[in-house]
Structure 1
Amino acid sequence: MSETLAGKTTASDAASKQDRDLKDRGPVVLAMTGASGAIYGVRLLQILVHAGFEVHVTISPSGAAVIKQELGATVDIHSADVAGLLTLSPAWSTAAIEAPDASVLSRIHYHRYDDYFTPIASGSFRTQAMVVCPCSGSTLSGIARAAGSNLIQRAAEVHLKEHRKLVLVPRETPLSVLQLENMHRLAAAGAVILPAMPGWYHGVESLDSLVDFIVSRIMDQIGVDNSLIQRWGES
Structure 2
Amino acid sequence: MSNFTGKITLAITGASGSPYALRLIECLVASNYQIYLLVSSAARVVLDTEVSLKLPAAPDAATSLLTSHFDAKAEQITVFGKEQWFSPVASGSAAPKTMIVCPCSTGTLAAISQGMSDNLIERAADVVIKERGQLILVPRETPFSTIHLQNMLTLSQMGVTIMPAAPGFYHNPQSINDLVDFMVGRLLDHLNIPQTIMPRWGYQK
Asked if TM exceeds 0.5, the reply is: yes
Q: CA deviation at 1:133?
A: 0.4
Equivalent AA in structure 2 for residue 30 of structure 1: L
Name the residue aligned to 1:100: 71
Structure-2 separation of matches of 1:131 and 1:61? 17
Structure-2 separation of matches of 1:77 and 1:170? 23
The answer to whether the 8 A contact 1:144-1:185 is kept is yes
Gap change, CA 1:105 and 1:213, over 3 Å in 2: farther
What are the superposed Cα offsets for residues 82-119 of structure 1, whole Å, 9 maximum, x if unpaired? 4534676xxxxxxxxxx615xx2431111112211100
Asked if 1:144 is matched to 2:125, the reply is no
Name the residue aligned to 2:188: 219
Name the residue aligned to 2:13: 33
Asked if 1:158 is matched to 2:127, the reply is yes
Name the residue aligned to 2:32: 52
Partner SS state of residue 106, structure 1:
coil
Partner SS state of residue 54, structure 1:
strand
Alignment gaps of 5+ in structure 1:
1-18, 89-98
Structure-2 separation of matches of 1:215 and 1:38? 12
What are the superposed Cα offsets for residues 1-52 of structure 1, whole Å, 9 maximum, x if unpaired? xxxxxxxxxxxxxxxxxx97x54xx301000000000111111011101210
Q: CA deviation at 1:201?
A: 0.8
Gap change, CA 1:201 and 1:85, over 3 Å in 2: farther
The answer to whether the 8 A contact 2:37-2:80 is kept is yes
The answer to whether the 8 A contact 2:23-2:184 is kept is yes
Q: CA deviation at 1:130?
A: 0.3
The two structures have a TM-score, normalised by structure 1, of 0.81
The answer to whether the 8 A contact 1:42-1:85 is kept is no
Name the residue aligned to 1:187: 156
Structure-2 separation of matches of 1:82 and 1:43? 17
Aligned to 2:103, which of 134, 140, 151?
134
Partner SS state of residue 209, structure 1:
helix
Structure-2 separation of matches of 1:87 and 1:200? 33
Name the residue aligned to 1:67: 47
Name the residue aligned to 2:65: 84
The answer to whether the 8 A contact 1:37-1:171 is kept is yes
Equivalent AA in structure 2 for residue 214 of structure 1: M
The answer to whether the 8 A contact 2:92-2:128 is kept is yes
Partner SS state of residue 109, structure 1:
strand
Alignment gaps of 5+ in structure 2:
none
Partner SS state of residue 27, structure 1:
strand
The two structures have a TM-score, normalised by structure 2, of 0.92
Partner SS state of residue 171, structure 2:
coil
Q: CA deviation at 1:78?
A: 2.3
Q: Number of aligned pairs?
A: 202
Q: CA deviation at 1:219?
A: 1.0
CA RMSD of aligned residues (A): 1.8
The percent of aligned pairs where both chains have the same amino acid is 37
The structure with the largest strand share of the pair is: 2
